[in-house]
Structure 1
Amino acid sequence: TMLPMCEFVLDIHSGGKTLEFLPFAAYHELDDKSQQQACEAATLAFAAPYYLSLVEIDAAGMYDTQAESMGKVFVSTELGGGGTSSPYTAGAARRGVHNFLVHAGILDAKPIQPGTASIKLDMQQDNAYVFSQHNGLLEPCVSLGDRVQKGDIIARVYTTERTGNKPVEYLAESEGIILGRHFPSLIKIGDFMNIIARVVQQ
């Protein structure tokens, strides 16, 4: 495969059809801190609107984990979602790939500076991920980028099995910014509902 031959790895995602994210670039916490610093520097060079140290739900067997175990400089992204693109997310991807290649020494050019500086987020808190505990129709009560406080209502789930039942309310368990959300209107038990990240630096 190509992985053993490379030094830098850029893994671009955009939420697929079922998730939607604020456009961000990310690196992981690693045991090798010099490798982590190199990954963070490449993440900053990508210059996405947001960046963070990403906590995975389950890192075992992931492409990310394999690349990092081989000592590669690895950057992951989520640039939108819902099976769509926009001028904003496409522009972030185009600029980011250009800047990543410049940072890696592959492209002999100047970095493209974004209009605003990247906002640093953190999701090290245990309750950053919110998962659905019910099947039903999802009513989002917050949008991507909204700031929430602990106890705020972030979503309601209505059962589709019978009428007249009150919806189940989901509350934010921490304060922060809504980084990601479930995209379809129907949701199932165990589905990802939201990510709440803490704003570290603007």
Structure 2
Amino acid sequence: MAITPTIPLDQDGAHHGFLRLPYSRDDSAWGSVMIPISVIRNGDGPTALFVAGNHGDEYEGLIALHELAATLNPGAIRGRVIILPALNQPAVAAGKRTSPIDGGNMNRAFPGRADGTVTQKIADYVSRILVPEADLVCDLHSGGRTLDFLPFAAVHVLEDKAQQAACEAAMAAFNAPWSAIMLEIDAVGMLDTEVESQGKVFVTTELGGGGSATAVSLAIARKGVRNLLCHMGILSEAPEMAPTRMIDMPDADCFTFCDTAGMMEPLVDLGAMVAKGAPIAQVWPLGRPGQKATVFHAGRDGVLVARHFPGLIQPGDCLGVVAVPLDS
């Protein structure tokens, strides 16, 4: 059976309910996965689609969009706001990056499959039904339990330069402290890629990490979401703007990967300026006294914008990301 919304998607007012996905399992033969959705609409106008919980351990977007759904007044807007505050609901409920049902990483499952796994079915519904309705899509991420980021909004380099310019304008309106032209090291199956392939305006974020949130990171998410509504003309008020710093992630030299297991010692903190070849972290062998640490170095000049978060690290883990500042 297909996913069925329990609320109308095209009627005025504030509607809160679920996308019901039939899921037969041992403890519920006729069970369902219930993905929360809110639709706030007032007449004709642009449609903004906000997504959080693409990964279940990233909390800034989850909290900001639950609040938006609870507080946005239909009478204050023109157009429609579709809110998916916990897209990968099984992962959110488990506090995990991926779904405990099928192991699916939602942000590697797009465009999905109508006859696939639970994760693929959710991705398929978003790709076929919701994204085509949207003028702008914002997918709110942070680092989850394994990464920590400087707070930034981001767009990608696109072949369609008019589309890229529209995305960059939306990123500027989000107005995070940092704004990134972002290289994805694994873009296949991402919501980003699907939305951009449909010609839509797309903005994503990385707003912190460590599997929690802070008052500062939540304030950035709340302001950014509201600013996008102003930018789209859905809210008539002016956006709240502050300075932002532009950064670029142009190639694979930005990424430093670990090739050994052990305890990671950061040698510089997020926001630090580093030179190519400078040590950014070292990894101590666990339980092997008398052995020296393995030192890892920056692949280019720039600012450290992301790092591995847990104290333990494994071969293949991303240890740090250095981006290129585009301003002084």
Shorter chain as denominator, the TM-score bin is over 0.9
Partner of 1:102: 230
The code of the aligned residue for 2:275 comes to: Q
Unaligned runs of 5+ in 2: 1-128
What is the aligned counterpart of 1:46 among 174, 177, 180? 174
Does structure 1 residue 188 correspond to structure 2 residue 309? no
Q: How many residue pairs were aligned?
A: 200
Deviation sequence 1:143-198 (CA, Å, 0-9, x none): 00001112211101111152221110011121110000100000001111111001
Q: For residues 250 and 286 of structure 2, what CA distance do their matches in structure 1 show?
A: 34
Partner of 2:195: 67
Q: For residues 156 and 133 of structure 1, what CA distance do their matches in structure 2 show?
A: 11
Does structure 1 residue 92 correspond to structure 2 residue 214? no
Q: For residues 134 and 208 of structure 2, what CA distance do their matches in structure 1 show?
A: 27
Offset at residue 105 of structure 1 (A): 1.7
Does structure 1 residue 2 correspond to structure 2 residue 2? no
Q: For residues 252 and 276 of structure 2, what CA distance do their matches in structure 1 show?
A: 13
Using the aligned pairs only, state the percent identity: 46
CA RMSD of aligned residues (A): 1.1
Match of 1:99, SS state, is: helix
1:142-157 mapped onto 2 (5 Å cutoff): 142-157=268-283
TM-score where L is the length of structure 2: 0.60
The code of the aligned residue for 1:177 comes to: V
Q: For residues 287 and 135 of structure 2, what CA distance do their matches in structure 1 show?
A: 52
Moved over 3 A (4+): none
Does structure 1 residue 158 correspond to structure 2 residue 278? no
Q: For residues 193 and 88 of structure 1, what CA distance do their matches in structure 2 show?
A: 24
Does structure 1 residue 168 correspond to structure 2 residue 294? yes
Q: For residues 161 and 85 of structure 1, what CA distance do their matches in structure 2 show?
A: 32
What is the aligned counterpart of 1:22 among 147, 150, 165? 150
Q: For residues 80 and 185 of structure 1, what CA distance do their matches in structure 2 show?
A: 17
Moved more, 141-150 or 79-88: 79-88
Q: For residues 10 and 104 of structure 1, what CA distance do their matches in structure 2 show?
A: 12
What is the aligned counterpart of 1:139 among 265, 287, 297? 265
Deviation sequence 1:87-113 (CA, Å, 0-9, x none): 211111111111111111222211012
Offset at residue 138 of structure 1 (A): 0.5
TM-score where L is the length of structure 1: 0.96
What is the aligned counterpart of 2:208 among 73, 76, 80? 80
Higher helix share: 2
Q: Which has the higher contact order (CA 8 A, sep 6+)?
A: 1
Q: For residues 79 and 55 of structure 1, what CA distance do their matches in structure 2 show?
A: 17
Offset at residue 59 of structure 1 (A): 0.7
